């Protein structure tokens, strides 16, 4: 008899190309679809180009432009042109700047239940909302997948998040994922996949499911997934894509490694307080707090359902005088619908600033709040300084809480005067005119010319790992260092395609001298080493947080723990991801210390264990590596291994 399978097992077993989940440390899975966005895409495609493959080998690859949309100077526009020309040549669908945010668009127009999606953005798991196994990764992993290669993950542990009951009016999906974050936090979830099950699933529409899987990224899990059921079918049919539907639900008696029950009817409005998405409190506990800014949108909460709900709260009313409100919709489809049903006029009349349908404020690329402001935002990350204003206090909330608070300029409970639920549209208006090269998808246009402006610099390649290393601790950082600390975005984002230029800003928020120190050590023939605490590399998929350090001569990280995507990026760029065998040894290293890694190459070839000598004595470190990872590190990274 066939063993009962959960949704994760069903999809992964149908895509397994390497490894045995019962005994191997790593599984290789076939990738059906890829997505990139512009800020990570240029590097991904430069790397893909160097793989010398004539066209993409996936079922579908889409290149979105949504991050660097503000064109001050030539850099971003140059990147867009480069991306468009690459898409034409290699058979990639190109989503023009202005079309919308990659995750919202992909869900609307391309995501398919039961398939795998790999995206160079950590919020790719949004696709889990329609039953895709959708995973975020570094750009070079996307390049490999586009070239037909497998993607590697450790055999996942699957936790069932059992949903019961129904949400109360004024409470929504954002509150549910914040509840899950309250329980599991932002660290310690590496290697897990969260699968949503139970009778409550049927009460959530697809946009709500996608909000939950989107922000699962903040847990640090590999991905999150919902079953594909009648609700999914209705959504796909309304998008004119019922042929893409496949029913994927867990078998009766399917097993999970763990479970957590959420009674939806008991969920209260929640918020994440500064400066971590895991710092979850109830809205009630902050009721009355004066607010200076409210930002609504981002890939977490920019669907028609979300923005229409905001319009219903604001109908016939005006936002408070002391508060500025900005709204960025997820896609042109969303804007079209809001225009047709009068919501756009309501929002304008209410005094909201309607922004471009792009990432914008979420990544500190628009509407940074004033000094010391309290900003309520519906996006997914509130790391210190990410808004572009270091002193800002950013709280993450649902669209309902944001709207209710906009009216008074204070934190308000959205459950006090809730609005009616927005019904799932029977038919979404479809306009795919800003998706280019659909006709040549998978085929490409032979001889198409690649356009390369001066902002596009070649990708640096790593060098093989030396036998021994003499190094220096170039920086010592604490716990929960995010990729926004390592490689800031916002104003620096326009240098994404130019590594020597972008590398000047590595660790800018922690130590602006990091770049110069690294260069000085490099000149002295010393390898640079980063020492960190727990959960190093939280947050984004940006491989620049490994690529730029590699460029600065960083050869090893020693941390108490390292998050999944960042760890994979370190390996891809030839930086050894060591962990302290005894976390207390963290205290024995200081910035500037000379560190000796005698026999590092042999250690990587062997069991990954090594004794490091420092001024306060020797301590032991360990990197648990698969054979594939060992090979990449010995070569100096993935590109150097080709």
Q: How far is the CB of 493 from ligand MIC (least distance, A)?
A: 8
- How far is residue 289's CA from residue 629's CA, in Å, rounded to a whole number? 49
Cβ proximity of 589 and 473 under 8 Å: yes
Query: Which residue bears the tokens 């579908």?
Result: 60
The item of ligand SF4, ligand MIC, none sharing an interface with residue 379, based on CB under 5 to 8 Å by kind, is: ligand SF4
Where would I find the H helices in 552-625? 564-572, 600-605
Q: Which two tokens stand for residue 122?
A: 């950590």
The item of ligand MIC, ligand SF4, none sharing an interface with residue 499, based on CB under 5 to 8 Å by kind, is: none
Q: How far is the CB of 120 from ligand MIC (least distance, A)?
A: 7
- How far is residue 14's CA from residue 384's CA, in Å, rounded to a whole number? 41
Q: Which of residues 66 and 78 has its CB atom nearest to ligand SF4 in the complex? A: 66
Q: Which stretch binds ligand SF4 (CB under 6 A): 332-340, 357-365, 471-479, 572-580?
A: 357-365
- How far is residue 418's CA from residue 433's CA, in Å, rounded to a whole number? 37
The item of ligand MIC, ligand SF4, none sharing an interface with residue 399, based on CB under 5 to 8 Å by kind, is: none
Q: How far is the CB of 362 from ligand SF4 (least distance, A)?
A: 3
The answer to whether residue 487 forms part of the interface with ligand SF4 (CB under 6 A) is no
The answer to whether residue 87 forms part of the interface with ligand SF4 (CB under 6 A) is no
User: Minimal CA–CA distance to 97: which of 38, 36, 42?
Assistant: 38
In the set 10, 30, 89, 123, which binds ligand SF4 (CB under 6 A)? Answer: 123
Rg (CA), the chain: 24
Whether the CA torsion 148, 95, 101, 76 is positive or negative: it is: positive
Q: Which of residues 323 and 358 has its CB atom nearest to ligand MIC in the complex? A: 358
Q: Which of residues 218 and 412 has its CB atom nearest to ligand MIC in the complex? A: 218
The answer to whether residue 362 forms part of the interface with ligand SF4 (CB under 6 A) is yes
Q: Where are the beta strands (DSSP E) in 209-331?
A: 223-225, 258-263, 270-272, 280-282, 293-296, 324-328
Residues 58-77 that bind ligand SF4 (CB under 6 A): 67
In the set 27, 65, 363, 557, which binds ligand SF4 (CB under 6 A)? Answer: 363
Q: How far is the CB of 363 from ligand MIC (least distance, A)?
A: 5
Q: Which stretch binds ligand SF4 (CB under 6 A): 233-241, 246-254, 355-363, 369-377?
A: 355-363
The answer to whether residue 101 forms part of the interface with ligand SF4 (CB under 6 A) is yes
- How far is residue 185's CA from residue 221's CA, in Å, rounded to a whole number? 11
- How far is residue 640's CA from residue 462's CA, in Å, rounded to a whole number? 6
Cβ proximity of 514 and 95 under 8 Å: no
Length of the chain: 642
The item of ligand SF4, ligand MIC, none sharing an interface with residue 572, based on CB under 5 to 8 Å by kind, is: none
The DSSP-derived string for 350-402 is TTPEEEPSSSGGGGTSS-PPPTT-EEEESSS---TTTTS-TT-EEEE--HHHH
The answer to whether residue 215 forms part of the interface with ligand SF4 (CB under 6 A) is no
Could you list the residues that contact ligand MIC (CB under 6 A)? Answer: 39-40, 67, 121-123, 136, 363, 489, 539-542
The item of ligand SF4, ligand MIC, none sharing an interface with residue 101, based on CB under 5 to 8 Å by kind, is: ligand SF4
Binding-site size, ligand SF4 (CB under 6 A): 11
Q: Which of residues 352 and 493 has its CB atom nearest to ligand SF4 in the complex? A: 493
In the set 213, 301, 333, 380, which binds ligand SF4 (CB under 6 A)? Answer: 380
- How far is residue 391's CA from residue 500's CA, in Å, rounded to a whole number? 29
3-state helix, strand, coil in the chain (%, to 5): 35, 20, 45
Site residues (vs ligand SF4, CB under 6 A): 67, 101, 121, 123, 298-299, 359, 362-363, 379-380
């Amino acid at each position: 008899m066939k063993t009962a399978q959960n949704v994760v097992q069903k999809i992964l077993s149908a895509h397994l190309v390497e490894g045995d989940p019962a005994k191997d440390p790593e599984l290789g899975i076939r990738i059906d679809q890829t997505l990139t966005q512009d800020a990570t895409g240029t590097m991904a495609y430069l790397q893909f180009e160097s793989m010398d493959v004539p066209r993409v080998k996936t079922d579908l690859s889409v290149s979105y432009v949504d991050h660097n949309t503000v064109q001050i100077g030539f850099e971003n526009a140059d990147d867009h042109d480069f991306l468009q020309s690459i898409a034409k040549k290699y058979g990639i669908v190109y989503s023009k700047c202005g079309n919308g945010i990659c995750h919202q668009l992909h869900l609307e127009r391309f995501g398919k239940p039961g398939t795998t999606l790999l995206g160079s953005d950590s919020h790719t798991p949004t696709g889990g909302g329609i039953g895709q196994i959708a995973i975020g990764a570094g750009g070079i992993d996307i390049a490999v997948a586009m070239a037909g290669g497998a993607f590697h993950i450790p055999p996942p542990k699957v936790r069932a998040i059992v949903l019961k009951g129904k949400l109360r009016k004024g409470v929504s999906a954002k509150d549910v994922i914040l509840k899950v974050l309250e329980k599991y936090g932002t660290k310690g979830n590496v290697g897990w996949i969260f699968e949503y099950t139970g009778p409550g699933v049927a009460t959530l529409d697809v946009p709500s499911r996608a909000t939950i899987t989107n922000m699962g990224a903040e847990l640090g899990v590999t991905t999150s997934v919902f079953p594909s059921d009648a609700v999914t079918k209705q959504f796909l049919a309304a998008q004119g894509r019922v042929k893409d539907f496949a029913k994927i639900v867990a078998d009766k008696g399917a097993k999970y490694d763990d479970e957590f029950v959420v009674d939806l009817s008991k969920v209260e409005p929640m918020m994440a307080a500064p400066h971590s998405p895991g710092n979850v409190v109830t809205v009630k506990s902050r009721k009355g707090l004066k607010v200076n800014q409210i930002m609504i949108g981002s890939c977490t909460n920019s669907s028609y359902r979300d923005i229409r709900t905001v319009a219903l709260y604001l109908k016939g009313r005006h936002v408070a005088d002391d508060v500025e409100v900005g709204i960025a919709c997820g896609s042109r489809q969303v804007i079209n619908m809001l225009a047709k049903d009068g919501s756009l006029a309501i929002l304008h009349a209410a005094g909201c600033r309607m922004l471009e349908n792009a990432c914008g404020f979420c990544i500190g690329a628009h509407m940074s709040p004033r000094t010391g402001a309290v900003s309520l935002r519906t996006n997914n990350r509130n790391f210190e300084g990410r808004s572009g204003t270091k002193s800002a206090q950013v709280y993450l909330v649902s669209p309902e809480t944001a709207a209710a608070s906009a009216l008074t300029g204070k934190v308000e409970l959205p459950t006090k005067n809730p609005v009616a639920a927005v019904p799932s549209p029977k038919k979404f208006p479809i306009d795919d005119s800003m998706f280019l090269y659909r006709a040549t998808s998978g085929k490409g246009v032979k001889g198409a010319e690649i356009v390369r402006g001066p902002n596009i610099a070649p990708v640096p390649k790593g060098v093989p790992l030396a036998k021994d290393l003499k190094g220096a601790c170039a920086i010592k950082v604490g716990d929960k260092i995010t990729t926004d600390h390592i490689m800031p975005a916002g104003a620096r984002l326009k240098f994404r395609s130019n590594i020597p230029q972008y590398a000047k800003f590595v660790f800018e928020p922690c130590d602006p001298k990091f770049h110069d120190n690294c260069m000085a050590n490099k000149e002295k023939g010393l390898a640079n080493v980063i020492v960190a605490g727990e959960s190093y590399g939280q947050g984004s998929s940006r491989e620049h947080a490994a690529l730029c350090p590699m460029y600065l001569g960083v050869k090893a990280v020693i941390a108490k723990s390292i998050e999944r995507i960042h760890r994979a990026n370190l390996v891809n760029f030839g930086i050894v991801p060591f962990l302290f065998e005894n976390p207390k040894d963290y205290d024995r290293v200081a910035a500037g210390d000379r560190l000796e890694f005698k026999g590092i190459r042999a250690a990587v070839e062997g069991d990954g264990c090594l004794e490091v000598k420092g001024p306060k004595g020797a301590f032991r470190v360990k990197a648990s590596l698969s054979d594939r990872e060992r090979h990449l590190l010995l070569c100096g990274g993935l590109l150097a291994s080709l």
